Structure 1
Amino acid sequence: MAAGLVALLDDIAALAKLAAASLDDVAGAAGRASAKAAGVVIDDAAVTPRYVVGLSPARELPIIGKIALGSLRNKLVFLLPAALLLAAFAPWAITPILMAGGAFLCFEAAEKVIEALSGAPHDATTVVTADAQELEERQVAGAIRTDLILSAEIMAIALSSLADQPLVNQAIALAVVAVAITVGVYGVVALIVKMDDIGLALARRPGAALQKIGRGLVAAMPIVLSLISQIGVAAMLWVGGQIIVHGLEQFHLTPIPLWVHHAAEAARHALGGVAAWLVSAFLSGVVGLIVGGIIAGVLHLIPRRH
């Protein structure tokens, strides 16, 4: 009986070690997947603050909370099952889907570059409504629709880095990525949109130092928001272009990937690893700008129905 108990304890210890190893695999996989999706995450954080512009400051955090819940629903209810089905039955489709999403990111970034150069938004519209609740619901719905596209790209990028994992580990890792990225992105967004309120509160506090910090925060926020928007555009071009370059390589369409690789390697030998990354990111961004510009040009040539 004692021998049986020892054997049982050995089995439990072995299972515990296996579970711990599995958790380590999941944690490592989730970390790698999150890192690969970082560029799209930056874009997600850069896009969201514009959805609370023009609304009551008292409604900013509740609106961001609604968008965050919608984002989490997008990832866990719709995209996670779709990603697992792809991994199980059509892994060959992951690269084309990634490339399509990358092309969309390039197009969105190219449109923003065109807007900046032309000085006028390409889809400028005026929203006229006397109902604040209706406007809020419209903004939230628009943000969640945009998030669905960005979240799909995040989940597809994450899935592409989990091909060596069992299906259960893929599911857990994707769920971890979904929750962590949603909390991180919308936590940062909430901090950004309330930073001017924090600055005003500090400016009213006694003490010259606090008041100076508060006024500095209020003055800095327009610059910060503009910088975040520009970083978001650069991230879209970099990530979208890089996805397209890697996709071309997967399909053995190698001239462009080889040019990027050779230029990065030349930079590595001359200046080191950081220079290689910068050259690769810059050239990927150039590819993204060209692809996005072509798509935008074609779409602008198509007559629009009114």
Structure 2
Amino acid sequence: MSGLLALLDDVAALTKLAAAQLDDVATQAAKAGTKVAGVVIDDGAVTPKYLHGLPAAREIPIVMKIARGSLFNKIVILLPAALLLNAFFPWLLTPLLMLGGAYLCFEGAEKILHWLVPSKDHGPKPETLDAARLERERVAGAIKTDFILSAEIMTIALATVEAETIWMQAAVLALIAVGITALVYGTVAILVKADDWGLKLSRTGDWSVTRAIGRGIVRSMPGVMAFISTVGTAAMLWVGGSIVIHGVEVFGWTGIGHIIHDAATAVSHTVPAAGVTLEWIVKATLDGLFGLAVGFAVMPIAHYVVTPLIEFGKGLFRQGRPPVEG
């Protein structure tokens, strides 16, 4: 009997340890999740454009395909790569984070440039692809874009995680990957179907109030999507700018970080009752403005150096492929 009691006591102790470990994983995941907010918002804002022009009946299945591809990106490719990088080349994390932050700044700055100087519309392009092929290409394009954003999410999360073992790191990153994918693509699914639900409600609602709500949903969706896009752009600049600033501080260049910190602290002292909130707003704004400057500075390099190199590499790859017979 004493042996059974000792076994039960050991099981209880192991259960408590496992529960504590799970709680620590959840805490670490929640903490890291707040750091990737800007990328997550942008991910949610970018995806709906890939559904434009496709049948409404295919919207949810397409979102599910993109979500599966996103989860594959995070779990199968990026999670092991991040752990290997952290284990063998930890000195690369800061430069890679800065590179990702600069990319976010570039994306945000390019969106603002397009708002300020809209590109000329040359009319609708002729569509020669059948629906199935168009869907495959849209899904592939969305998954490629997601890979870049997911890489930034996983790198930022890894830099935030304070787990002691590689298994704990893996568990935290896996939880972040699943949680963020579910959050992003669950939200995208709701957004892309909201106007359809609103239209149906406006036509078939049993009461005038429900029909009015349906019409309100339909009218509000363009504004909602525009607001999400705006918030996503601001969040990209804020997160990207703060990542670059933190990176240069790691390398010993602390001037810009001190200037932003001192400005935010000075403003917070003007209204002590709202000091913490004001300090965060000023710091986020200045981080975003710095990110915008970085984005505009990176833009010529991206357009005239990186893009031609990528196209050159694609050309070499196509030349090296064997010809397709028949």
CA pair 89-301 structure 1, distance change in 2 beyond 3 A:
closer
8 Å CA contact 1:115, 1:121 repeated in 2? no
Name the structure 1 match of 2:245: 245
C-alpha distance after superposition, 1:159-184 (max 9, x if no partner):
11114432111101110100010001
Scaled by the length of structure 1, the TM-score of the pair is 0.94
CA pair 16-127 structure 1, distance change in 2 beyond 3 A:
farther
Question: Partner amino acid for 1:282?
Answer: T
Name the structure 1 match of 2:222: 222
Question: Partner amino acid for 2:300?
Answer: G
Name the structure 2 match of 1:153: 152
- Equivalent-residue separation in structure 2 for 1:297 and 1:225 (angstroms): 29
How far residue 5 of structure 1 moved from its aligned partner, in angstroms, is 4.0
Name the structure 2 match of 1:49: 48
Aligned with residue 288 of structure 2, among 274, 285, 292: 285
1:236 and 2:236 aligned: yes
Question: Partner amino acid for 1:15?
Answer: L
CA pair 127-170 structure 1, distance change in 2 beyond 3 A:
farther
* Superposition misfits of 4+ residues, deviation over 6 angstroms: none
Counterparts of 1:76-155 in structure 2 under 5 Å?
76-120=75-119, 126=125, 128-155=127-154
Q: SS of the residue aligned with 2:128?
A: coil
* Identical-residue share of aligned pairs (%): 54
How far residue 96 of structure 1 moved from its aligned partner, in angstroms, is 1.1
How far residue 287 of structure 1 moved from its aligned partner, in angstroms, is 0.9
8 Å CA contact 1:159, 1:174 repeated in 2? yes
- Equivalent-residue separation in structure 2 for 1:45 and 1:237 (angstroms): 16
CA pair 121-283 structure 1, distance change in 2 beyond 3 A:
farther
Question: Partner amino acid for 1:263?
Answer: A
- Equivalent-residue separation in structure 1 for 2:120 and 2:236 (angstroms): 18
| Structural RMSD (CA) | 2.1
How far residue 127 of structure 1 moved from its aligned partner, in angstroms, is 6.5
CA pair 125-144 structure 1, distance change in 2 beyond 3 A:
farther
Name the structure 1 match of 2:299: 296
8 Å CA contact 2:28, 2:162 repeated in 1? no
C-alpha distance after superposition, 1:182-232 (max 9, x if no partner):
001000000001010010111012311011111111111111111111111
- Equivalent-residue separation in structure 2 for 1:230 and 1:5 (angstroms): 62
Name the structure 1 match of 2:15: 16
- Equivalent-residue separation in structure 1 for 2:217 and 2:14 (angstroms): 53
- Equivalent-residue separation in structure 2 for 1:248 and 1:127 (angstroms): 47
C-alpha distance after superposition, 1:59-107 (max 9, x if no partner):
1111111100000000000001011112211222111111111101111
- Equivalent-residue separation in structure 1 for 2:85 and 2:129 (angstroms): 45
How far residue 125 of structure 1 moved from its aligned partner, in angstroms, is 9.6
- Equivalent-residue separation in structure 2 for 1:125 and 1:72 (angstroms): 34
C-alpha distance after superposition, 1:240-262 (max 9, x if no partner):
10111111111111111111111
- Indicate the larger mover: 20-29 or 175-184: 20-29
Gaps of 5+ in 2: 313-326
Question: Partner amino acid for 1:255?
Answer: G
Question: Partner amino acid for 1:55?
Answer: L
How far residue 51 of structure 1 moved from its aligned partner, in angstroms, is 0.6
Question: Partner amino acid for 1:166?
Answer: T
CA pair 9-287 structure 1, distance change in 2 beyond 3 A:
same
- Equivalent-residue separation in structure 2 for 1:225 and 1:190 (angstroms): 13
CA pair 83-127 structure 1, distance change in 2 beyond 3 A:
farther
Question: Partner amino acid for 1:116?
Answer: W
Name the structure 2 match of 1:35: 34
CA pair 294-125 structure 1, distance change in 2 beyond 3 A:
farther
CA pair 210-249 structure 1, distance change in 2 beyond 3 A:
same
How far residue 152 of structure 1 moved from its aligned partner, in angstroms, is 0.5
Name the structure 2 match of 1:264: 264
Gaps of 5+ in 1: none
How far residue 267 of structure 1 moved from its aligned partner, in angstroms, is 2.6
